[in-house]
Amino acid sequence: MATKSPSPYSTGHSLQSLLLTSQGLSPPKRRRSSAPPPPSPAARHPLGPPHHFSLLNRPLPDGFRSLKPWESPLPFDDFLFSADARSAEAILTSSRAPVTADVLLRLPDVRLVVSTSAGLNHVDLAECRRRGIVIAGAGDTKSEEVADLAVGLLIDVLRKVSAGDRYVRRGNTSNFELGNKRVGIVGLGRIGSKVAKRLEAFGCTVLYNSRKKKPYISYPFYSNVCELATNCDALVICCGLNEQTRHMINREVLLALGKEGVVVNVGRGPIIDEKEMVQLLVQGELGGTGLDVFEKEPNVPEEFLGLDNVILSPHTAVFTLEIVSDLCDLIVGNLEAFFSNKPLLSPVLDE
């Protein structure tokens, strides 16, 4: 039977959170003595379509049933005050469904947040910590494929693979090689480290910027991302989004890369000041870019569409059937571990 890779924009509803209450298993005891007693046993209640399971036509395990707020006559905010929603003990969420302090206030029994994305900018981590809520992330399920796409985008921009047909028809076949390039990686975590490994195989010199210097890493470290850009031919953005990294790649950094510099972003769109990048690309002050994420997804600046040195991907770095299957296994494993008083498989730890 033929199958096709899923699209992140194919879901019919923007909410991709899942609320759950336990049946037959006892969740960890509350950390706040003033909290009300746990709800009476009921089916575990998901809120919103379990997107990763539906992509594979894979049912949720026994003991889970789906609440469907989009079928409710109540507005979503009112739905959160319903008895079913308020009895939830866990939330399964994607990057498109923020878990805010307001949401958590309306769901007083929540003790676990499971995120399907590598980044956590959509989860109010401080509020979760304050409420004693534990968090499980995507672990290492997505790192290999995201690293593959990051390098693929870089090759495409430098070698003009996607623009090749148009260039040949115009009689212009100039491009640049990847080997011997100095590539700066912004965020040398799980994904960034795998990007670095791949780039080394191409003969690139790897440099990096991170919150702090990594012990036992031989790549040159730059605490200032603008200095990193000054010493690189290309930047690959792999870090998470937070208040410190929002618009970190600004006009100054982009100009430091120079007219032949290339930026690849597989992190989060708002890490780059997209308006400034568009202007520099149009003016010929930046060599090119490869983007899997955008500042205001799913909207893409119209100027990008007419530029041969811009390669666009619809946030599909992590949407392969293999990743989705592995992530489903991890989600189930984390939920079952939590409701069995066992350690989470992929806990997000305080730094």
What is the per-residue pLDDT across 237-248, written as a single tens digit (0 to 9) for each?
999 888 899 999
Identify the residue whose tokens are 């929603």: 85
Q: How far is CA 322 from each of CA 51, 141, 144, 319, rounded to the nearest angstrom?
A: 15, 9, 11, 8
pLDDT score at 187: 94
Least confident of 88-92, 166-170, 251-255, 310-314: 166-170
Looking at the structure of the chain, the number of domains it has is 2
The whole-angstrom separation of Cα 242 and Cα 149 is 23
Q: Which residue has the higher pLDDT, 324 or 302?
A: 302
Range of the domain at 256: 143-312
Residues 154 and 283 in one domain: yes
**260-296 pLDDT, tens digit each:** 999 999 999 999 999 999 999 999 999 999 998 999 9
Residues 285 and 178 in one domain: yes
Residues 62 and 211 in one domain: no
Residues 107 and 175 in one domain: no
Least confident of 85-94, 306-315, 330-339: 85-94
Residues 95 and 194 in one domain: no
Task: Choose the catalytic residue: 44, 52, 122, 268.
Answer: 268
Task: Choose the catalytic residue: 144, 285, 297, 336.
Answer: 297
Q: Which residue has the higher pLDDT, 318 or 204?
A: 204
Q: Does residue 2 carry a pLDDT above 70? A: no
Judge whether 270 and 241 are in contact, CB under 8 Å.
yes
pLDDT score at 52: 52
Question: At 174, is the pLDDT very low, low, confident or very high (cuts 50, 70, 90)?
Answer: low
Q: Is 44 a catalytic residue?
A: no
Residues 300 and 183 in one domain: yes
Q: Is 127 a catalytic residue?
A: no
pLDDT score at 32: 40
Residues 157 and 279 in one domain: yes
344 within a domain of the structure (yes/no): no
Q: Give me the mean pLDDT over the 28-49 stretch.
A: 38
Q: Give me the mean pLDDT over the 119-125 stretch.
A: 84
Q: Which residue has the higher pLDDT, 17 or 296?
A: 296
88 within a domain of the structure (yes/no): yes
Domain CATH for 79: 3.40.50.720
pTM of the model: 0.69
Question: At 168, is the pLDDT very low, low, confident or very high (cuts 50, 70, 90)?
Answer: low
Of 329, 332, 334, 338, whose CA–CA distance to 346 is shortest?
334
Q: Give me the mean pLDDT over the 70-95 stretch.
A: 78
Judge whether 228 and 184 are in contact, CB under 8 Å.
yes
Q: Does residue 36 carry a pLDDT above 60? A: no
Q: Is 268 a catalytic residue?
A: yes
Task: Choose the catalytic residue: 45, 51, 111, 315.
Answer: 315
Q: Give me the mean pLDDT over the 212-232 stretch.
A: 95
Residues 120 and 171 in one domain: no
Residues 137 and 272 in one domain: no
176 within a domain of the structure (yes/no): yes
Residues 252 and 279 in one domain: yes
